Amino acid sequence: MSPGDHETRARAAKDVRSWSIADLGSLLDRENIRHAYVMYENGEVRLSHKALAPIGAFFELSHDFAKHEAVFFGREEGIETVFTAFVHDTRRGLAQGGLRLWPYESVADLLSDGLRLSQGMTRKNALAGLHWGGGKGIIPLPPSARTAEEYKQSEFAEERRRLFEAYGRFVASLDGVYYTAEDMGTGTADMNVLLGQNRFTTCIAADRGGSGNPSAHTAWGVLRAMQAAWLHMRGTEDLGGVRVAVQGAGNVGAPLIEYLHRLGAKLIIGEFAPNIREDMRARYPDAEVLEDHNTIFDVDAQVFAPCARGNVLNADTIPRLKAKLVCGAANNQLGEPHDAERLQERGIVYVPDYLCNRMGITNCADEWAGYLEEDVQLAAERVYPDTLRVLRHARALRISTAEAADRLADIAAAELHPVIGHRGRRILDHLVRSGWSAGTTQKRTPRLAFVPAAHEPRIHRQAERAGAFSGNGPAVAAMPLSTAARPHLGMFLSPLLMDVEARSRGNAARRVIGLDHGGAALQYAVRESLPYDVNEITRADFVLACHDRHAAHDAAIRHQLGQTGIGFDPKAWLDPMSAETSEVVARLYYRLADSGRIRPGEYGGYRCPECATVLAASEVVDSDDGERCERCQSPVEQQISEQVFLDLGREARELTAAIEGGAVSFGDTKARKDVLAQLRDLKPICISRQSWWGNELPGRPDEVLSPWFSLAALAVEAAGWPREAAPEPMATVFVDSSFLARWVVPSQLIALATYGRPAFSHIEVHGAVQIVERDNEDEHPEERFDEDRYQYRTVLRKMSPRLGNVVEPASLVQRFGADSLRLWYLLSLRANDRTAVVLTESHAREARHAIARLNASLSSLLAPGTAPRETQPADDALIAKIGALGDEALAAYTRHRFDIAAKRFVEAIDQLAAYARSIERDPASGSGRDTAVRLVPVMARAFSPLCPFILTRFEAEVVQALRDRGRGEG
Ligand code: NAD
């Protein structure tokens, strides 16, 4: 954004701050707008109407804007307010969140609240494991009443009913992308009115088949969270004799008090309503019921359970607390985000509100599936392990518990719904395409020749059936994919490059691809997911759990590779934990041991107590307070121990000679230099690990082989050993620069030691996939208005599940198709940067738009029913230009410059689109259809290695067109 742009936006955003709700209503009326939206994707804000530009600017500059997918506005005649629905994130499912009826001073307050609350719902739903995204509805209180409470009075009953009916129609018009529920200012009766207008309402009364009042379940969830936190702090979950101060004895507080009483806790009760106080005294004579409810913050309690209202933990109350644990049902307990750190600084463990009070939403979110009380009980039990997970995460990373919960929730939110996938996004697309914002009820669906979701899977299956991926030509390989995590964009670059290479060699190439078993990272992830300590189960059970996760990720990886169009022969799929490969690993070990290369020795290095294994220096990271384990972030210890080593000094010299003599080559000189340097100082490699997960280490039954040994075995197996005594090296391997030293070099050396030849003859190194994130540069943003406080700085981050910034390839494939995704990767490659491949939003847009243009141009040119026309000079000129670009692409493949091929493809699409536009303007300027028929094979030959699906599809259309013409002439 240029400084000028920024100023214009800041001015526009400031305007929004001065708008009242009535101003917004008048603006919509003036412009005759009934439905409007602001949508956001890939760095692009899309507005349904220009008049909404200030709101778009407000979002972009707002501290509360967290890449919300959409915000909708509605207006209905005769209703004195506006309607809003916020859709934050629909990856885990359709957006769900309560409907608030509340007075708002300004449009800015309304929008900030909606943005914040809908993101909160994403996190609450995700952390609870619900397959719902996050949303929120807000109706600003109509001017006829002064407070939400007053609006409940009977004089407003008729107006209220009309209001909710109209909002119900608004929700219906959104086609289910937003599901509504009860919240502040709304009640079950209102939900019943909404339900009369749409089928996207939850939290319905029990007499309509809904789930009814969740309060007792909420109280049970809070109790389980409290027990888990007590276990975390004191090593026991027994609350007998523990002094617990409960604020508020209402719907949730009262059953919580009862549960605590039964467990023998010493109760202190602060309640505002005198009649409830009396009732509490009568029921619990041993409890201390405070005369002044405000003194609850000062009492001598060990646990504080706020169950009354929000904003109870703030700069004023936190210093007064004597309790060491805060765990209660109230929503929005923290006055501001910084209060989480205030609590942490005072050594108070805070169980984030949305973690322990989730039962309200959990109870009703899944009522569409029918109601079973046991579901709710089971879900409440889940609060216990989840609380432990959050508290342990916070302790390990030394962050506040609120931040730990947010991070874990954000990771869960990135997971795609297992059944409906990216349906939310597709509904948004559909609302745009069908003219929702024009207020028409007639929905349009444009005709497209190529619909990725419909055509790609079929094309891939056909290729698989035809054996297109089990070539018997030269082998091309990609580095192994880690099963420590589900597939994400960071993992698919190597296999994609391998696939482009194989396709550019005419599909005769043999594709070699397999898995990294995940090693310590997978083991750590499994430990994290266990609700109990790992030592409570046996090694055998733990390994079984690792196997399950490995298998699940393996299946997801294979499936998504297929969706991305990356071909491989499933029979040749490599997995170090499979019976076949385990055997190869063992044979390899004995072969090396027999030749005297394996021997015991002393290892002076690091040990991670959490992962319980030795670490190489590369697995240790420096932090402000000492050295930490790269995986689990725990502090590491220095240690000297007995380990097993592999000595490959002789092979290092052989490999050096092979590189210098040109038998082993590299795509770039830096990689070559790095490898030669590594070989010069190669020390014996430690191959023993004190982990529970991995290939067996022969002779040391309690230990396993280092993952690098297993992966090197994978390379020799891929080359053909031991089926062949001395297999040919694989022609080309694509590898992330961080895998060069850790995988390529050991594989080359082990292959040389085993059968006298290297595993790979040409090595192409590419950068690790990174994404661009925005960070705030301002140190004290809270002191400023949104539009003034955000100066964004661009930071690059590696994509990693641990950072919660992963995107699964499937999610993009389902929305835009594999061709767009492939082109995005390839456009992001930079010629001379072997350290980072930055997937930017602008490249994503460029790729998507290019494929959409290609689709639109070819569909319009090939549309049936156009009469044949004379060939014009423009036709030949187009074919010549695109032919030349295609030749450049073909030459670029041989140099492994897939980025150049991708750029030529986009240029070719631009030429084609310009031609299609000129034909549309003046049909006599070219032959149109005939030219397209001639052009498609030219484009397919040059560019289908990059984007195979759309070009295969149009090739089929052309064949059909030629057949039809032949029939016509015959
Ligand atoms: P409620 O209105 O039934 O109970 C609140 C009680 O607190 C009332 O008895 C009220 O008199 C008392 N109170 C109000 N201000 C007080 C103060 N300053 N000091 C002491 N007592 C005070 O509400 P509820 O349904 O029990 O919900 C309580 C909190 O939990 C709310 O913040 C709500 O949003 C949250 N919550 C409730 C559920 C649920 O299932 N009901 C679910 C999630 C979150």
State how far the Cα of 367 lies from the Cα of 370, in Å rounded to an integer. Answer: 5
For the CA of 328, the closest atom of ligand 1 is: 30
Distance (Å) from CA 180 to ligand 1 centroid: 21
Q: Of 258-272, 483-497, 863-877, give the lowest mean pLDDT range.
A: 863-877
Q: Are the C-beta atoms of 119 and 107 separated by less than 8 Å?
A: no
pLDDT of 824 strictly over 50: yes
**Local structure of 627: helix, strand or coil:** strand
For a pocket test of ligand 1, which of 213, 217, 220, 272 has the largest count of ligand atoms closer than 8 A to its C-beta?
272
Q: Are the C-beta atoms of 946 and 890 separated by less than 8 Å?
A: no
Q: Are the C-beta atoms of 390 and 401 separated by less than 8 Å?
A: yes
Tokens of 235: 């090593």
DSSP 540: H
State how far the Cα of 283 lies from the Cα of 312, in Å rounded to an integer. Answer: 26
**Closest Cα to atom 40 of ligand 1:** 215
State how far the Cα of 265 lies from the Cα of 258, in Å rounded to an integer. Answer: 10
Residue 599 CB contacts under 8 Å (≥ 6 apart), including other chains: 644, 645, 647, 684
pLDDT in tens, 691-723: 889 999 999 988 999 999 999 999 999 999 999
Q: Are the C-beta atoms of 112 and 65 separated by less than 8 Å?
A: no
Phi, then psi, of 472 in degrees rounded to 5: -115, 20
Alpha helices for 926-947 (secondary structure H): 929-943
pLDDT of 285 strictly over 60: yes
CA distance readout (Å), 898 to 320, 388, 492, 512: 63, 47, 15, 19
pLDDT, the chain, mean: 90
Got the DSSP string for 123-157? HHHHHTT-S-EEEEEEEEPPTT-SSTTGGGSGGGH
Q: Is the peptide bond prior to 722 cis by the omega test (within 30 degrees of 0)? A: yes
Mean pLDDT of 389-408: 91
**Closest Cα to atom 18 of ligand 1:** 272
**Closest Cα to atom 39 of ligand 1:** 215
State how far the Cα of 855 lies from the Cα of 449, in Å rounded to an integer. Answer: 7
For a pocket test of ligand 1, which of 259, 294, 309, 376 has the largest count of ligand atoms closer than 8 A to its C-beta?
309
Q: Are the C-beta atoms of 827 and 926 separated by less than 8 Å?
A: no
Tokens of 640: 């000297």
Q: Which band of pLDDT confidence, cut at 50, 70 and 90, is reported for residue 790? A: very low
For a pocket test of ligand 1, which of 299, 357, 358 has the largest count of ligand atoms closer than 8 A to its C-beta?
357
pLDDT in tens, 595-637: 999 999 998 888 888 777 777 777 788 877 788 887 777 888 8
Burial class (CB in 10 A: 0-12, 13-18, 19+), 146: exposed
Distance (Å) from CA 248 to ligand 1 centroid: 6
Burial class (CB in 10 A: 0-12, 13-18, 19+), 133: buried
Q: Which band of pLDDT confidence, cut at 50, 70 and 90, is reported for residue 801? A: low
pLDDT of 289 strictly over 70: yes
Mean pLDDT of 457-466: 92
Dihedral sign (CA 477, 478, 483, 484): positive
Looking at residue 380, what is its pLDDT?
87
State how far the Cα of 801 lies from the Cα of 416, in Å rounded to an integer. Answer: 14
pLDDT of 90 strictly over 80: yes
Which residue among the candidates 14, 124, 136, 903 is catalytic per the annotation? Answer: 136
Find, among 829, 957, 849, the residue nearest to 913 by Cα.
849
Please tell me the total number of residues recorded for the chain in this structure. Answer: 970
Mean pLDDT of 829-842: 78
Q: Report which listed range, 256-270, 563-577, 622-636, is most confident.
A: 256-270
Dihedral sign (CA 959, 961, 963, 969): negative
Q: Of 504-508, 644-648, 666-670, give the lowest mean pLDDT range.
A: 504-508
Q: Which band of pLDDT confidence, cut at 50, 70 and 90, is reported for residue 529? A: confident
Tell me whether strands 613-615 and 620-623 are parallel, antiparallel or unpaired: unpaired
Q: Which band of pLDDT confidence, cut at 50, 70 and 90, is reported for residue 135? A: very high
Run of H or E including 22: helix 21-30
Q: Of 116-130, 312-326, 827-841, give the lowest mean pLDDT range.
A: 827-841
- CB within 6 Å of ligand 1 — which residues? 214-215, 218, 247-253, 270-273, 276, 293, 307-310, 329-331, 357, 360
Of 167 and 603, which is predicted with more confidence?
167
Q: Are the C-beta atoms of 755 and 726 separated by less than 8 Å?
A: yes
Burial class (CB in 10 A: 0-12, 13-18, 19+), 783: exposed
Looking at residue 446, what is its pLDDT?
47
Site of tokens 């980072």: 836
Distance (Å) from CA 136 to ligand 1 centroid: 21
**Closest Cα to atom 33 of ligand 1:** 330
Distance (Å) from CA 254 to ligand 1 centroid: 10
Q: Are the C-beta atoms of 805 and 819 separated by less than 8 Å?
A: no
pLDDT of 789 strictly over 50: no
Cα dihedral 168/169/170/171 (nearest 10): 50
CA distance readout (Å), 6 to 14, 38, 192, 789, 792: 12, 19, 45, 12, 11
**Local structure of 335: helix, strand or coil:** coil
Find, among 405, 409, 410, 382, the residue nearest to 394 by Cα.
405
Residue 616 CB contacts under 8 Å (≥ 6 apart), including other chains: 605, 606, 686
State how far the Cα of 60 lies from the Cα of 44, in Å rounded to an integer. Answer: 10
DSSP 719: H
Residues of the chain above pLDDT 70, percent? 93
Looking at residue 803, what is its pLDDT?
64
pLDDT in tens, 26-76: 999 999 999 999 999 877 889 999 999 999 999 988 888 888 999 999 999
Looking at residue 904, what is its pLDDT?
98
Of 921 and 531, which is predicted with more confidence?
921
pLDDT in tens, 222-239: 999 999 999 999 999 999
Q: Of 15-19, 72-76, 164-168, 875-879, give the lowest mean pLDDT range.
A: 15-19
pTM of the model as a whole:
0.71
State how far the Cα of 952 lies from the Cα of 937, in Å rounded to an integer. Answer: 9
Looking at residue 213, what is its pLDDT?
77
Give, to the nearest 10 degrees, the angle between helix 929-943 and helix 841-862.
140
Mean pLDDT of 483-489: 89
State how far the Cα of 941 lies from the Cα of 956, in Å rounded to an integer. Answer: 14
DSSP 740: I
Residue 32 CB contacts under 8 Å (≥ 6 apart), including other chains: none
For the CA of 214, the closest atom of ligand 1 is: 40
Q: Which band of pLDDT confidence, cut at 50, 70 and 90, is reported for residue 688? A: very high
**Closest Cα to atom 9 of ligand 1:** 250
Give me the amino acid identity at 194: L
Looking at residue 447, what is its pLDDT?
54
Mean pLDDT of 813-817: 86
Find, among 894, 869, 907, 910, the residue nearest to 945 by Cα.
894
Burial class (CB in 10 A: 0-12, 13-18, 19+), 684: middle
Distance (Å) from CA 329 to ligand 1 centroid: 8
Distance (Å) from CA 406 to ligand 1 centroid: 24
**Closest Cα to atom 20 of ligand 1:** 271
Mean pLDDT of 199-225: 90
136 carries an active-site annotation: yes
For a pocket test of ligand 1, which of 149, 217, 220, 251 has the largest count of ligand atoms closer than 8 A to its C-beta?
251
pLDDT in tens, 332-341: 899 888 899 9
pLDDT of 526 strictly over 80: yes
Looking at residue 440, what is its pLDDT?
57
Distance (Å) from CA 83 to ligand 1 centroid: 27
For the CA of 270, the closest atom of ligand 1 is: 20
Looking at residue 970, what is its pLDDT?
44
State how far the Cα of 214 lies from the Cα of 217, in Å rounded to an integer. Answer: 5
Q: Of 194-208, 239-253, 404-418, 805-819, give the lowest mean pLDDT range.
A: 805-819
